[in-house]
Each structure stands twice: as structure tokens, then as C-alpha cells.
Chains A and B, each alone.
Chain A
Amino acid sequence: MLELTDLRKRYGEREALGGVTLRLRPGEVFGLLGPNGAGKSTLCGLVVGSLTPDGGSVRVAAGDPREPAVRRRVGFAPQPLALYAQLSGAENLAFFAGLYGLHGARRSERIAAVLDFVGLRGRADDRVGTYSGGMARRLNLAVALLHEPELLLLDEPTVGVDPQSRDHLLANIESLRDAGVTVLYTTHYMEEAQRLCDRVGILDRGRLLAVDATAELLAAHAGAARLRVRFADGHAHTHALDGEAPLDALRTLAAALEPEHGAVERFAVDQPSLEDVFLELTGRSLRDT
């Protein structure tokens, strides 16, 4: 569905993308995880054809993304809200539907469908300027879905939204995944990538450091799950599980350490996360960058 080969982009002296090669399979949700400034938005701009690469190539459904016929197959929800605040939600949708050649009954049908999908039917006639940040984000997504794209690019779609709207948006994307839409999802929220994505790419400073299914990435780079145990005298102990059953490991630890530190007061199992993967690959925490 999407094929990037040795994709490069510079802004003056600064290298935004330094040779990214990636293939997205039809119907998969691919998460591009990286800190701010990693090159995620630049990659999206190159995929939708709003930017021209300095090197390498982009093929969307085997076509050039700058061709109108290819653009009709791509939906894009950019990170900055791309909406007219003075128009209502329905007017925004009608306008963007017109740009994609939708008109008449088909246009009305699609507008109603996407409004229902993002849960904004009741506010369709209100001006976007009166929407909350979360509602505006949902409308931003609705615009991208109007023409039923085969490839959907979502650039940080949950930035600055309230938890309720975030959950709504993530549920929307899960529905799209179930419907077989190919999604390229950029985020710096690892929990979103873990929840939604079939595969994840770790992008840092314009370079794709690792690409794999979430479980494989975790296995390869995040290490084992860890058992954390706290004893009655305050002593804390961390134990890498390495495939052991947590309760078995807990029994073994308790037997060994309770005589010295007293009874086990509490324990927890920390599953490895993409945060650990990022830390392992870059030596930095995703949230610190």
C-alpha cells in the first residue's frame, strides 16, 4: 500500500529524514513512534506529496502521491487542525467533500456517515470555533475519512485532547482497522501505539531505528518483564522474569528473602513497554526528548 525507499529530506543544514525505508501492508495499522522533532510530520508530508523528497522515493498504491488519482486514495489528518473556525462542522465537511469531487446525494450521505462515526452529528451545525479541542480533533479525522481513503495518515491525532475524546478517537481508529483501512499513525504516546498498532517503527532524529510487530520489538529490545517486591522492613527487590511465571518467581524470592527482610508487603509485575524499547535503542527516554 505504501512503499518508502531510502527517503531523505533536509531543511537547510538540518537533516529531517536520513534514508527511511518502509513498507506498509494493506489493512495494517502502522505506528510511527518518536519524540517531537523526530521527523514524523516530515514523513507524512512526503507521503501525501505536500513535500518533495531530496532523495529516495515514495509510492502509494504503486503511484506517485502528487498525482490526483493517487491523492484520492489517501486521507490525511494533519497535526495542526486544518479547519475553518468560522464555518460549521457540516460546512467544513461539505467544502472538503467538494475538493474530492463529492457532490449531491453522495456528498450528503458521506457527511452524515463521518459525522456519525466521530460522534459529532449533534454539533454539526455549530461553528468549529465553538468546539472543544477534542471535538475539533474528531472533525479533523472526519474530514480525512470523507472520501473513504484506502490509506489514512494520522499525524499525532490525539495531541491536546481530553481523555474522553482521546478514547473516542482511539475507538474510531480501531473501527477503521477492523474495516481494513491501512493506517499510518504517528504519535509520541507509546500506550496508543501499543493499543492500536500491528507494527511499530521507532523514528529518532530522522532515522528509523527498528520496525517490527509490537510483541517482537518488546521481546528484542525491552527485555523481560520485571517482578518488583517490597518487604516489611522496606527493602525493595526487582527480579527479571525471563519467562518464569510471576507467582513461581515470587514464591522463590519470598523463600529466599523473608527470613532477612520480613514478609512480602506488596509486589507488582512490570510488563516491558515501547518506552523501554526507545530507551534501549536511543539511550534516552521518549518523554525526556
Chain B
Amino acid sequence: MSPAEHSAAPPRAGWTAAWALARKDLQLLLRDRAGVFLTFFWPLILATFFGALGPGFGALTTGDEGEAGAESSAMVVLAVDEADSPDSRALLEALDATPRVRLEAAQREDAQARVRSGGAPAMVVLEPDFALAADTPEVRVRVDPRRRSEAEVLGQALELALHRARAGEPGASTLTVHLDWLGGGPGDQSNDAALTKPPSPFAVTFPQGIIWAVLACAATFATSLVQERNQGTLLRLAVAPLPRWQLLVGKALACLVAILAVAAVLLAVATLGFGVRPHSWPLLLLAVLSTGLGFVGVMTALAALGRRSASAAGMSWAILMAMAVVGGGMVPLFMLPELLQRAATLSPVAWALMAMEGAVWRGFGLAELLPWCAALVGLGLAGLAVGSRAVRDL
């Protein structure tokens, strides 16, 4: 090779190098049995296991609690009183008095939006013709399927409230509860028939499985610069004819490919094996891509900041696990104290879960999905910027 050939960068050299880095990291991941298990099989096992547990997944304790305990663990249900009659008020007062439920008055559309976005577990609608004396008083309930165990509690609480509201008066012995899941307004069955059916438990657990896989990929790749340093290869990378930031681009590309591959596997199993039918495939693709980009950014920042630390692996896991716990990736958010539920809005895990659930079963439109995706992509870009700045000095 002549000096002139040496000094001129070969065409596509940047992409060749970035792809070489990514391919090498993927080869190393595939040859690491523990890594493959953690990133591919463990999320699949968890999603399948918890999905197989059925609607009870994420149940609140059904233990007998005292009033004070019950108050603190009462679920907030949005009450839409369209009847606004003495009968409807009596039922809602009786319902609010039950220890497991705390009512919050709301308008139908607002309540619907909050249930769709996961802001409240359920809404109760008393339509204009509601009457306690009717043979079978009708109540419409709309429930977030992640909270279906609470919906069962709510059904029992409604029966109890009806009994108390009618105290001493004759009437029908049972209440007709029309249970809707997500989709159009309560009682508006025409909106999307599929969404008025409870989604498969696997529709809830597989997005969560993807989150676990994403976290495992991010944690695995976050330690790769330290591993390169320990095995001596970082020196060779550092003297290669590449800008330092390209080293991170290669690692980011590998992490993104791994995330997309594992998400594809999990979704294939969910759809082909467990009959999950996402509400919108294009929106799901957008959600998965945004999630991937967001956590690739987190990974690159962790990789660059922990590049010299022997404890980088532990630090990365600790940070990612904290995100998962706070964001509802480990324990459903409604089981966390209220303070942590508020803090969840700061966790990228919660953003990613909301985006994927929105595309799978919450019935989000593009406008509802975009803020979560934008937050994830913004996080990814910020992480890449932090990482590329830190990695200037390897």
C-alpha cells in the first residue's frame, strides 16, 4: 500500500469500522452463554411464566386489612355520575365508604383518558337512567387490564355499596356490571370490538419481558469498554484510525441490534405462541425502536462513564435496576407507594412500558404515543452525547 493510499480514508471506512465493531460485539455476546441466557431466554421465561399465571398477575394483597391500612391501599376509581340523581349519589357514597375504594369525581372523557394512560385503574359510569329500584341496576366499569385483580375487588365493592345504598328497601338482589377494557367510551361497543375484550395476560407480560431484555442488553453492553480495557483490546481500538466517538457508535449499533433482535423474538413468541394481537404494529415498531434508542443512549453513557472502573458492571446494573423498580419494570406501579408512583414518571422504564403497552393494548393513537417516544429518543441522544464526550479520553 502506498503512502497516498494510506493517508486517504478508504471509502465507507467509517461505516465499515462501525459495523465491524458492532458485529464483533454481537459475536462476543452470542458466544457468552450467560449473556445469551440473560438477554434472550430469561425475559422470555419471565414473560411466559407471568402470562401463564393469568389475570391474577400483579394482584394486590387480598388480606384482611384494618381501616387505616385499607385507606392507604384503597384504589382510586374515577366516578362519572351522568345520572346525578339521589339514587346515583347514594350508590357512589356507599361505594366511597368501602375501605378498598376511594372515588374521585370526573367527566367521562377525562376519566376515559386517565384510564387509558394508566393514570387510574378504573372508572365507574352511572348512566342517566340509573335507578336503585330497577330490577337490575346497571353500572358500567372500565378497567385498565394491568389492574384486573383490582377490578374484581371493585366488582365486590359495588355489590356491597348497592346493598348498603338500598338498606332496608326491597329491590333486585344483584347488580349488572358491564365490564369494558380499553377502547371507546364505556358502553360504546362500536369503537373497537377487540379492545372491549380483556387482552391476553401475555399482552401485558410480553411488553414487560421486552423491557427486561432491553435492560439486560444495556447492562451487558455498558460493561464492554471495561472488558475491552481488561483484555487489552481497548489499546488497539484507541490507536485505530477512527474518531473515538465511532467506537461508541459501534457499541451502540450492536446494542440496538441486540435489543431489536430480542424484541422481535419475544413478539414472535407472543403473537404466534400466545395469540397476542397488538393494537397497532406500526406504533409498536415505533415504540420498540424508541425504547431501543433510549436505552442505547443510557448504555453508552454508562459505558463511557464507567470505562475505567472495575465496579462498572455492578454500577450499571444498580442504575438500570433502580430505573426498573421505580418505573414499574419489576413490580407493577400501583403496588408502589404513592411517592414512588409519582417518581415513576421520571423513569425511562415507565416511558418505555407506556409506549409499548399503548401500542399493544392501551389503544394509543400516534399523538398519545409520541410524547413517550420523544422522551425516549431524547434520552438516547443525551446519553450518546454524554458518552461521546466522556470517551474522548480513553
A residues apposed to B, CB below 8 Å: 48-50, 61, 68-74, 76, 78, 80-87, 91, 94-103, 143, 147-150
Cα distance A80–B149 in the bound complex, in angstroms: 59
Task: Tell me which of A98, A149, A150 contacts B17 (CB under 8 A).
Answer: A98
Contacts of B31 in A (CB 8 A): 86-87
With A81-B232, A98-B21 known, 11 other A-B pairs at CB within 8 A are: A49-B239, A72-B241, A80-B232, A82-B232, A86-B31, A99-B17, A100-B17, A101-B241, A103-B10, A147-B1, A148-B1
Contacts of A81 in B (CB 8 A): 232
Contacts of A80 in B (CB 8 A): 232, 235
B residues apposed to A, CB below 8 Å: 1, 3, 6-10, 12-13, 16-17, 19-21, 23-24, 27-28, 31-32, 231-233, 235-243, 394
Q: Are B9 and A69 in contact (CB under 8 A)?
A: yes
Contacts of A83 in B (CB 8 A): 231-233
Task: Tell me which of A78, A82, A85, A103 contacts B16 (CB under 8 A).
Answer: A103
Contacts of B239 in A (CB 8 A): 48-50, 71, 74, 76
**With contact pairs A101-B13, A147-B1 given, residues A87 and B7 touching in the complex (Cβ less than 8 Å):** no
Contacts of B20 in A (CB 8 A): 94-95, 97-99
Residue of B with least CB distance to A73: B6
Q: Closest approach, in angstroms, between the C-beta of A43 and any C-beta of chain B?
A: 14
Residue of B with least CB distance to A144: B236
Q: Are A86 and B32 in contact (CB under 8 A)?
A: yes
Cα distance A48–B236 in the bound complex, in angstroms: 10
Task: Tell me which of B1, B6, B17, B232 contacts A78 (CB under 8 A).
Answer: B232
Q: Are B3 and A61 in contact (CB under 8 A)?
A: yes
Task: Tell me which of B9, B16, B32 contacts A98 (CB under 8 A).
Answer: B16
Cα distance A149–B3 in the bound complex, in angstroms: 9
Cα distance A74–B10 in the bound complex, in angstroms: 16
Cα distance A148–B27 in the bound complex, in angstroms: 26
Q: Closest approach, in angstroms, between the C-beta of B60 and any C-beta of chain A?
A: 46
**With contact pairs A61-B3, A69-B6, A76-B236 given, residues A101 and B17 touching in the complex (Cβ less than 8 Å):** yes
Q: Are B236 and A78 in contact (CB under 8 A)?
A: yes
Cα distance A102–B10 in the bound complex, in angstroms: 8
Q: Are A82 and B241 in contact (CB under 8 A)?
A: no
Contacts of A98 in B (CB 8 A): 16-17, 19-21, 23
Task: Tell me which of B9, B231, B233 contacts A101 (CB under 8 A).
Answer: B9
Q: Are B28 and A69 in contact (CB under 8 A)?
A: no
Most central of B12, B231, B243 by chain A CB within 10 Å: B231
Q: Are A99 and B21 in contact (CB under 8 A)?
A: yes
Contacts of A86 in B (CB 8 A): 27-28, 31-32
Cα distance A281–B122 in the bound complex, in angstroms: 87
Q: Are A84 and B17 in contact (CB under 8 A)?
A: no
Contacts of A96 in B (CB 8 A): 236, 240
Q: Can you name 16 A-B residue pairings with CB atoms under 8 Å?
A: A68-B242, A69-B9, A73-B3, A74-B239, A76-B236, A76-B239, A83-B231, A83-B233, A84-B28, A85-B231, A87-B24, A87-B28, A91-B24, A95-B20, A98-B23, A102-B16
Cα distance A48–B239 in the bound complex, in angstroms: 6
Residue of B with least CB distance to A96: B236
Task: Tell me which of A72, A94, A95, A97 contacts B6 (CB under 8 A).
Answer: A72
Most central of B3, B12, B23, B235 by chain A CB within 10 Å: B235
Residue of A with least CB distance to B233: A82
Residue of B with least CB distance to A79: B232
Query: 5 smallest A-B Cβ distances: which pairs?
Result: A98-B20, A101-B10, A101-B13, A68-B241, A80-B232
Q: Are B236 and A143 in contact (CB under 8 A)?
A: yes
Q: Closest approach, in angstroms, between the C-beta of A155 and any C-beta of chain B?
A: 10
